[in-house]
Structure 1
């Protein structure tokens, strides 16, 4: 009996071991290495380094205005994207789910942008903002389209948000559509017979029954928004100046572009990691509690 159980565990280990080795080498080792170097002044090139304790973290928050600006810009982007992406995706899902004949068509149309690489999407929209929209404004008289979408610090945030929403809404919409399929039609019909409006139906019946989808979509949008890089790099490059620089770009610049302060960049990566960990943990905890209550 013992031999049989031992052989079973050994065979399971043989299947899991290759994946775990790859996971250990490519993810765990760099992760723990980053934590280690965040307490050093290593430049990423030399063999020698010195331990500096918490100096890197203190510097990031006390005497690095570029990091603080990138932090606040990232937080603003996160709040905007989490709210707008989920609201738009849910609205599209509800509208498409109510259709019968054209459901597959609209589902495909709105999901298609997600199939394009985000960096390619950014380059495509750069052409749209610089060439197409000004000509469209001139021919239609909609002068608000003729903006310095990329060169104006007051407007460039919205250009980044537009491309991010265009690219990511479709994926969240698919998740919400799948959740809506599980809401019993009989409950909606009963509420409608009792006099509930479509909005009341959505708030009191549909949303409580798709809380699990809300949990997933909020988790995904939070993570992707905090780690945004490609769309900013492709559209503005963090400019004009540093007005649209996000944390990930600031970390990359610190480590590789100019300063070669790998240890300092690692400390910023740890700060970003802790932020994402805490916020997503709180979000999942709160939403899971709501799922149980619902």
Structure 2
């Protein structure tokens, strides 16, 4: 009798594993075919001179990487501009999102309304957002400048390098702040109200309560938001492609756009573009590792 129960239990466990495998297998196959294989292929082709079309190619070792970092001023400039964009977005997006979250959390009424309003732009793809803001920059803002006298609004937002940078930043912030705001809101709602009330009773001002109680208790949210912002800022493509196309000239060209042009515009140098992609991957991994390590350490200290 015990033997039958034992075999019956093994059969149930086996059936559960088979059922689990049946549900997981399609997603795993899709993930492997659509992501893992292309990623490994990109690493391999980064050491070749393949143009993406020819049946034959040659293994050239590290030549693509050496050329990218020593003999490609456009790529070096794209790295510089991307880092500038990353620094600005990590700071601005998180500061604005946190301030909005604090303001909305302090409201007693209409919290849902404000959450929806600020999150709505995130539901629009960046390429569509860039087309919308292209119209705003070229048609709406000049008219607004005439009506209000704010002449700084009437300028070549895509033709002026400095203005082009801020046009990219404005659209990216408009689209991405709401998502980070929701994460900060969720973290703020997890802070015990009793701690805030105790701080107020002890004479702490709202600012001191925020700095010494609330912010240390939501460091996990900072880790998540910094991670997401850092990655999205490094991989930005569609907003730049839609707004400026990397112009004027190549002033606002980010790394992803440089890779895109190398693979599909400049003689289809697919192997060279793959090498640049590997370098971008290494940069993201390095910055992400440092950021997560530092933030996790601060979480423990808090």
Tell me the TM-score range normalised by the shorter chain: over 0.9
Answering whether residue 55 of structure 2 is matched by residue 47 of structure 1, we say yes
1:172 corresponds, among 167, 180, 185, to 180
Confirm whether residue 84 of structure 1 aligns to residue 92 of structure 2: yes
- Structure 1 match to 2:211: 203
Q: What does 1:53-92 align with in structure 2 at a 5 Å threshold?
A: 53-92=61-100
2:3 match:
none
Unaligned runs of 5+ in 2: 1-5
Query: For residues 190-214 of structure 1, what are the alpha-carbon distances to aligned partners after superposition, in whole Å with 9 as ceiling and x for unaligned?
Result: 1122222222111111111111111
CA shift, 1:9, in A, is: 3.5
Alignment of 1:224-235 (within 5 A): 224-235=232-243
Q: Superposed, which structure 2 residues align to 1:185-224 within 5 Å? A: 185-224=193-232
Tell me, in whole angstroms, the C-alpha distance in 2 between the residues paired with 1:35 and 1:179.
38
**1:163: how far off?**
0.7
Which residue of the partner structure matches residue 118 of structure 1?
126
Query: If you compute each CA radius of gyration, which structure gives the higher value, 1 or 2?
Result: 2
Query: Using the alignment, how far apart are the partners of 2:128 and 2:27 within structure 1?
Result: 31
SS at match of 2:23: helix
Distance apart, 1:292 and its partner CA: 2.1
1:257-272 → structure 2 map (5 Å cutoff): 257-272=265-280
Gaps of 5+ in 1: none
CA contact (8 A) 1:71 1:247 kept: yes
Matching residue of 2:258: 250
Q: Name the structure 2 match of 1:182.
A: 190
Q: Residue 208 of structure 1: SS of its match in structure 2?
A: helix
Distance 1:138 1:96 in 2: 34
Task: State the secondary structure of the residue aligned to 1:240.
Answer: coil
Q: Aligned partners of 2:233 and 2:16: how far apart in 1?
A: 43
Deviation of the 1:19 alpha carbon? 1.6
Greater CA drift, 177-186 or 193-202: 193-202
Q: Which moved more, 1:282-291 or 1:76-85?
A: 282-291
| Other-structure match for 2:287 | 279
Q: 141, 145, 148: which one pairs with 1:140?
A: 148
More moved, 32-41 vs 178-187: 178-187
Aligned residue in 2 for 1:292: 300
Return the alpha-carbon distance in structure 1 between the equivalents of residues 107 and 24 of structure 2.
45
- 2:32 and 2:96 map into 1 onto residues whose CA distance is 38
Tell me what 2:22 maps to: 14
TM-score w.r.t. length of structure 1 = 0.97
Alignment length (residue pairs): 294
Which string of whole-angstrom CA distances, capped at 9 and with x for unpartnered residues, describes residues 151-175 of structure 1? 1012110010011001100110011
Question: Which residue of 1 is the match for residue 249 of structure 2?
Answer: 241
| Residues 253 and 259 in structure 1, CA contact (< 8 A), matched pair in contact too | no
